[in-house]
Structure 1
Amino acid sequence: MKPDTHPAYHELNVIMTDGTTFKTRTAGGKPGDTLRLDIDPKSHPIWTGVQRIIDTGGQVAKFNKKFAGLGAKRK
């Protein structure tokens, strides 16, 4: 095997939506970085069965404002 073909792995801290944390190894980011999850298996509708809208950065409000005039006109 050729030397230096694989990226260097390091530990990364992951914070789940409920505040629990764990460490994982990855080649992305910098050593000791923290990854905060917006959606994880404890909050994702596929596993929970509960649907909810997660508005990150006002994207839903921006969409509604942009496309408010479209659709069927009511008399």
Structure 2
Amino acid sequence: MKPRIHPVSRPVVFRDRAGGAAFLTRSTADSDQRVEWEDGNTYPVIDVEISSASHPFYTGRGRVVDTAGRVERFERRYGKRENPTD
């Protein structure tokens, strides 16, 4: 690695505003806001709108799209192919 070209990586707290969760990780991002973490140290905090704690894909609250109904409707409308390998 070349010296003096990489950004500084530091511990940062990311706080999910929607889910109320917070996690400590390393990042090159910095913030003027600070928060005291569970270990007693103070870290920069970055508020995010959504994270894995509140995203529907990770929480299981997402919708399932009915693709089978779309395929059947397409086949009724335009017919099935005679030879699907063509």
Superposition TM-score tier, normalisation by shorter sequence: 0.3 to 0.5
Give the TM-score taking structure 1 as reference length.
Answer: 0.48
Q: Which is greater in Rg? A: 2
Q: Where is the strand percentage greater, Structure 1 or Structure 2?
A: 2
Give the TM-score taking structure 2 as reference length.
Answer: 0.43
